[in-house]
Amino acid sequence: MAQYKASMERLTILEIDGTNEEETNLLAVNGTNGAEDQLESDYIVIHHPSNPFLSWLEAHTGFIMMPTLPLLWCALFIATMDRQSLLSAWAMPLLGICSASLANAVPVGGGIVFVPVLALFGFQIQLGTAFAVSTMTFGNGIFGFLSWLRKDPGSIAWGAVPYAVLPAWIGSVYGTYNLFMTPAESRNLFALFCVLVAAVVGWGLYRNGGADEKGVFSLVDDARKTPGTDRTPAKALVATLSSASAGTVLVPHIGIGNAMTTFLVCTFVWRLPAKTSVVTGILVGGWTSAVPFAIHLFVIGDVPLNLWVMGLPGVYIGAQIAPLVHERLGIATVLTAFVIFLLGTAVLMVFT
């Protein structure tokens, strides 16, 4: 029992032990430079490629995170907010902190918290969707990306990103301009998605049982047995169609979906380690949101700017303190509370 408690309290999706080189850099498994080019062409690789821009970002993430991004937010605040807007959105930073602390434990995105909370306060689900994609673009796609690039760039499966992001962008453009669900149907879809996420998280908690120190999302066999993921046409097609479907159906109607889709594809199709699948899913969820966010902001014009601007600092702070929250409370406790929240949200969406 003591061993179970110790292993679970060490676990956090944002603080999983990254010292095992065999898991975080699959190129090192074969141990020969001669095989590296073959691995890069035939497998999904788990380190960022030799890209000058990414290398520059990795070297300057600390300065970008502080003070560059906070100063940019201050400029945005001055340009968009007035006294009335501030009074109407004063609670959004707290909501942002709560959403980031919960959602950063699983590859799903802050929309899983924002959409039902806004619905509880009487906002239409379409407005919640616009707010979710606008917030996740920055929370997952920028804050989360820079944090992981600084902390552990080897945890991002760059080879899987094109199959996850590009089809979802195409699908989200079509879906955003051609919504085919009513608000009631979208609420039911959100409820169903919550139940599915709760099932995945609950199964991970049950499957872990305290025996696997890599965490509750180790739903596949040890990745060290498979030094890479073969990029066969069949697997590429499954990954592409999965992301396109999430982008067409889930993202336009409920604001979330491709992060969890990417996690499942990385886990069961690409057969990547749990940490890599989780981190890649979280980041892809943010990058996927960028295109629908631009459409909602510049074309449709339904992004609630006051809520968005006030929510960003909460998401920023929440992403920074999430590892501490998970460590103090224990990731098993956080995820159990998250499962309860998801099931309660499903009931809220269906019966209110």
Q: How confident is the model over 34-54, as pLDDT tens digits?
A: 444 444 444 565 555 568 888
Q: Is the model's pLDDT at 115 over the cut of 50? A: yes
Give me the phi and psi of 44, to 5 degrees please.
Answer: -75, 120
Residue 217: which pLDDT band, with cuts at 50, 70 and 90?
low
Angle at 156 between CA 151 and CA 161, to 5 degrees: 145
Q: Is the model's pLDDT at 307 over the cut of 60? A: yes
Residue 114: which pLDDT band, with cuts at 50, 70 and 90?
very high
Peptide bond before residue 304 is cis, with ω within 30 degrees of 0 = no
Q: Are 42 and 230 in contact (CB under 8 A)?
A: yes
pTM, whole model, 2 decimals? 0.82
Lowest mean pLDDT of 11-15, 152-156, 218-222, 327-331, name the range.
11-15
Residue 92 belongs to domain spanning = 2-351
Residue 99: which pLDDT band, with cuts at 50, 70 and 90?
confident
Residues 305-330 have a mean pLDDT of 87
Mean of the per-residue pLDDT values for the chain? 82
CA dist 28 to 45, 88, 273, 279, Å? 11, 53, 15, 20
CB neighbour list of residue 91: distance below 8 Å, 6 or more residues apart: none
Lowest mean pLDDT of 22-31, 111-120, 167-176, 190-199, name the range.
22-31
**How many domains would you assign to the chain?**
1
Burial of 352 (0-12, 13-18, 19+ CB in 10 A): exposed
Q: Is the model's pLDDT at 323 over the cut of 80? A: no
Specify the pLDDT at position 289: 97
Dump pLDDT digits (tens) for 191-211: 999 999 999 888 888 877 655
CA atoms within 13 A on the CB side of 149: 25
Name which of 54, 20, 12 is nearest 273 in CA terms. Answer: 20
Neighbours of 71 (CB within 10 A): 10
Lowest mean pLDDT of 24-28, 64-68, 124-128, 281-285, name the range.
24-28
Distance (Å, rounded) from C-alpha 47 to C-alpha 193?
31
Specify the pLDDT at position 92: 94
Q: Is the model's pLDDT at 10 over the cut of 60? A: no
- Sign of the CA dihedral with 207 first, then 210, 214, and 217 last: positive
